[in-house]
Amino acid sequence: MATYFELLTPLVDPVLTSYRADFFTHDRRDLSDYSGPFLLFVRDSGTNLVKFGPDFSTPRSMWDGSEITEPQQQREYWRGQFLAVKDLIAASSLIVFGDKGQIRKANPAQALEIYNQRVTTGAKLFL
């Protein structure tokens, strides 16, 4: 069975003209032992990978990685994540959803729905 990286390369390679290490080094490493769901946002100038793994439902500080436990801070965290994903969707030439070893292209509405489902059912938090 092909890896996520092998499945993604024919789709991503023609789009990505600069910052190729985003995909060919960093995303390759981050997907190497991963089989869970993800969204990959691709622009001509790089990629952003959002993995919905076990840690996704735990909001963590970007400064020290500690868990955010205060409800208001959790809401602010998820709202910030949601706004960042909306920006990624708007800036991307290609969006790919992966899960259970398979990938498919996603349009902006589908990507936002996939993200919202994972936040609602995976994180069980509200925006």
Convert the pLDDT of each residue in 75-111 to its tens digit: 777 777 778 888 989 999 999 999 999 999 999 999 9
Q: What's the per-residue H, E or C state across 28-49?
A: HHHHCCCCCCEEEEEECCEEEE
Structure tokens at 47: 């990629």
Per the CB < 8 A criterion, the answer to whether 48 and 38 are in contact is no
End-to-end Cα separation, the chain, in angstroms: 37
8 — pLDDT class (breaks 50, 70, 90): very high
Residues paired with residue 105 on neighbouring β-strands, in sequence order:
96
Could you list the residue range(s) of the whole structural domain that residue 106 is in?
A: 4-123
What's the domain count of the chain? 1
